Amino acid sequence: MSLAHHLIELRKRLFKSAFGLLGGAAAGWILSDFVMDSLRVPVSLIATAQNRSATLNFADITSAFDLKLQIALTVGAVVSSPIWLFQIFAFLVPGLTNREKRYTLGFFFTAVPLFLAGCSAGWFVLPQIVALMTSFAPAQDAAFIEAKLYYDFVLKLVLAIGIAFVLPVFIVLLNFIGILSAASIIKSWRLALLAIVLFTAVATPAADIVSMFMLAIPMILLYFLAAGVAGIHDRRVAKNLRLTDTSSTSLLET
């Protein structure tokens, strides 16, 4: 396929992705009030738990519209992700070998559920984090939280934990392409555990350590699961190499 055909194909895929994003954004606009109600729940709990006035605050005239538009775009990107992810994959497939296609599909169908699970875990511990952070304010003061900053905080927290849950898939992928061995993954388990605990401590600064361990335990299990998958793959590769060497030796002897 010539360069011109590649550019035409790319333009077609981009247009389809853009239409998918626009459709998803329209759905996100409709769902934005529901999302705002869900985001407001941790703030409402502050008023009950800390006996103080707590509410989301819109600092200027356009901030409410800006936040609703931002929510619509975020929800639109999530809702339309099957469309634009498929367009990316369909554009790359002609240049991939059969082996690379298998790796890509395996990575995709494993990473997406783990990412969603991580985002769900982040959302689950969000109320505890909000309660802790606002508890540092003096008891006689109200908590008027800037709505846009609050949404940015929630989005970054949820995405950070979602991405952290996907990291074991990258470890397996590096093993499959020959960059990282299972032995080195297992050998680094102490550093991995320390990194996971530090990450969860920063991401979930809760007063009790329950929230931290609720995130750390599944991440640790995923790390060792990745090490186990890498070990199975390395043994299979070593077995194939031995069979190849045996076949080569037999041919030379004959």
pLDDT at 229 over 60: yes
In this structure, of 13-17, 150-154, 178-182, 238-242, the range with the lowest mean pLDDT score is 238-242
Write down the domain spans for the chain. 3-253
pLDDT at 181 over 80: yes
Residue whose structure tokens are 């499959």? 176
**Of 232, 99, 107, 221, the residue nearest 169 (C-alpha):** 107
More confident residue, 246 or 191: 191
Q: Can you list the alpha helix ranges (DSSP code H) found in the chain?
A: 3-50, 63-79, 81-92, 98-134, 147-176, 182-187, 189-203, 210-253
Distance CA 144, CA 58 (A): 9
pLDDT at 249: 61
Distance CA 148, CA 163 (A): 22
pLDDT digits (tens, 9 = 90+) for 90-125: 776 676 677 767 777 777 778 788 888 888 888 888
Distance CA 36, CA 64 (A): 11
